[in-house]
Structure 1
């Protein structure tokens, strides 16, 4: 009988040891990133031009590269192949029921175009384009969207920030609060509105065919 208290005490000590939180500390895994490795990841481009690599490319050069590297998905003129994204056109469609969001109609900053192409394209072979090739492709996309009209236009890190996309002013800061604050400063978490109404739709897709006399396939708002 005298061994049971000792066994109980040993079991309790073991449970406390296992359940105790592990102190934070180095695990001895991996190695510190070298400056070269950090530079390889630090390739984002900002709207003010920060991060742009030195380089240049013309519209004419971009057309050749785009045809070889991009047209299989996006079409020769950015019209989109199959279900791949459309890159050009769409002007004056954002207020319609079927907005076409392209570089020319929707995107706010040219830096987004360069950054995405340089970082993620072409599909399946990302980051295979040189800075000069990327500048040329972006110049060609500007031409397809009538942002520039000269086939000899050359885009470079020096004139990049002078180019403005048509919808830049279409993006504004949303100053609305994340939650409706009731009197007294407490967020309203329930029963904030007596009724919720849909006032606008970004896009209406009527894909179900209608059959006279059969309301099963009719879209009801």
Structure 2
């Protein structure tokens, strides 16, 4: 292949064009700053499309939606939608355990919600995005709160009468949280 005429370009050298380009005047195509001519396909996401995917939940509870759930409701949901992969009560199945079980001498305990996850809000976030495996994102917010309550209860982190919602969930302190240390390295990009 003849590479004459090609020149090295870094991603930082791309700038929005001010002159009329291939996508000028078309609101539904990508601006050329995303690549040379945007390769002739794609369109800008509408704000409502972005909002539907912008569902992250932070450790402090920012992003938690309205709704609530109980341990009892979560137990019913878990049996119906989760036990096939995670076993009865979350103690282990083809896709692993979610609940701390009795230690086996000479065997390292599995990393599960009750001994490894640093934030209770992460349980909600993960279940809402990725579960159940065959229908991710299909659960209502109330169902996710209920499943989260059941999982935290099964790991002996809350009692059976606890009602989880956007206020109570971030208040739960996970046993593994002190094991996680902030990245305090210097000399590069610092994220705080």
> Residues 174 and 42 (structure 1 numbering): CA distance in 2 closer, same or farther, change over 3 Å?
closer
- Separation of aligned partners in 2, 1:108 and 1:63: 23
Aligned length: 159
Aligned-partner SS, 1:108: coil
Aligned-partner SS, 2:125: helix
Aligned-partner SS, 1:57: strand
Shift of 1:173: 2.9
1:19 aligns with 2:5: yes
CA contact (8 A) 2:91 2:101 kept: no
Corresponding residue for 1:117?
A: 127
Shift of 1:20: 4.0
Structure 1 alignment gaps of length 5 or more: 1-14, 179-221
Corresponding residue for 1:159?
A: 168
Structure 1 runs of 4+ aligned residues shifted over 2 Å read 20-25, 90-93, 173-178
CA contact (8 A) 1:59 1:139 kept: yes
CA contact (8 A) 1:89 1:105 kept: yes
Shift of 1:88: 0.6
CA contact (8 A) 2:127 2:144 kept: yes
Corresponding residue for 1:87?
A: 98
TM-score w.r.t. the length of structure 2 is 0.73
Shift of 1:90: 4.6
Q: Aligned-pair RMSD on alpha carbons?
A: 2.7
Corresponding residue for 1:172?
A: 181
Matches within 5 A, 1:24-63: 24=14, 26=32, 27=37, 29-63=41-75
TM-score w.r.t. the length of structure 1 is 0.64
Shift of 1:138: 0.2
- Separation of aligned partners in 2, 1:122 and 1:57: 17
> Residues 176 and 29 (structure 1 numbering): CA distance in 2 closer, same or farther, change over 3 Å?
closer
Deviation per residue, 1:68-106 (Å, 9 max, x gap): 00011111211011x42111115789xx75132110111
Deviation per residue, 1:53-78 (Å, 9 max, x gap): 11101000001111100011111211
Structure 2 alignment gaps of length 5 or more: 18-31, 188-192
Corresponding residue for 1:9?
A: none
